[in-house]
Homo-oligomer: A and B are copies of this chain.
Amino acid sequence: MTLTTTSYAILGQLALKPWTMYELAAEMRRNLHFFFARAESQVYAEPKRLVAAGLAKAEVERIGSRPRTEYSITPAGRKALKEWLETPISKPAQLEFEALLRVIYAPFGRDECLEASLHNVRDHIDETLLVLADRISDEYKEGRAPFQRYAQYRCLMHDFLLSYGQLLHDWAERSLERVSRWPDMTPEERHTEAVTTFHRRRPRRKKR
């Protein structure tokens, strides 16, 4: 019985507070989903494994005749979580971005298809950014937002997520702008512009 990163993702949630699996599933959709997407069925399966491993415990109560199981972390669970945090990251940030496939294979289709893909990226991320901004202002609004006391840590995450969203938006936007100018350009002009992009745009590297 070995724990996966998914297990620790759930275990960490239980460390924050006890949840029913239903609440947990909703919270995953609300938050972790942005950088650690998993199917609901996983969320329902994982706590049972944690209980089996002694890292969580389940308390059944009843609302009327409907059972409701609250999962909470055990001392052993806290210890396991702490130990996991001591281990090095198991996998570097991993991106899966179908739109970039569309981009590099765009010469085999119509340029309108490329534009459609870029619109798709922009629209989708704009929606996500709206939702995300809501979540974040929820968390920091005065009053007892659920995880106020972890603000110093969570703000690092929110900083990343907003920056990342902004990056996607900006990239889609400037790419669309670029593509829109192609019809008025000769193939040579287009090529020259492309090549010179990377004479200008050197990656700025910081000294360490």
Chain A residues in the interface with B (C-beta under 8 A) = 5, 8-9, 12, 15, 32, 34-37, 78, 81-82, 85-86, 88-110, 113-114, 116-117, 120-121, 124-126, 128-129, 132-133, 136-137, 140, 149-171, 173-175, 178, 182, 190-191, 193-195, 197-199, 201-206, 208
- Residues of the B chain whose Cβ atoms lie less than 8 Å from the Cβ of A164: 95, 167
Nearest to A95 among chain B residues (CB) is B35
Nearest to A120 among chain B residues (CB) is B89
- Residues of the B chain whose Cβ atoms lie less than 8 Å from the Cβ of A96: 35-37, 91, 93-96
Main SS of the interface on chain A? helix
Nearest to A94 among chain B residues (CB) is B96
Report A145 CB to chain B, min CB distance, Å: 10
Nearest to A93 among chain B residues (CB) is B97
Given contacts A85-B113, A129-B203, A191-B151, contact A78 B37 (CB under 8 A): no
Report A111 CB to chain B, min CB distance, Å: 9
Among A5, A9, A89, A99, which residue has the most Cβ atoms of chain B within 10 A?
A89
Copies per assembly: 2
Report A172 CB to chain B, min CB distance, Å: 9
Q: Which of B89, B158, B163 contacts A117 (CB 8 A)?
A: B89
Report A69 CB to chain B, min CB distance, Å: 23
Q: Is the Cβ of A150 less than 8 Å from the Cβ of B36?
A: no
Report A140 CB to chain B, min CB distance, Å: 5
- Residues of the B chain whose Cβ atoms lie less than 8 Å from the Cβ of A198: 136-137, 140, 155, 158
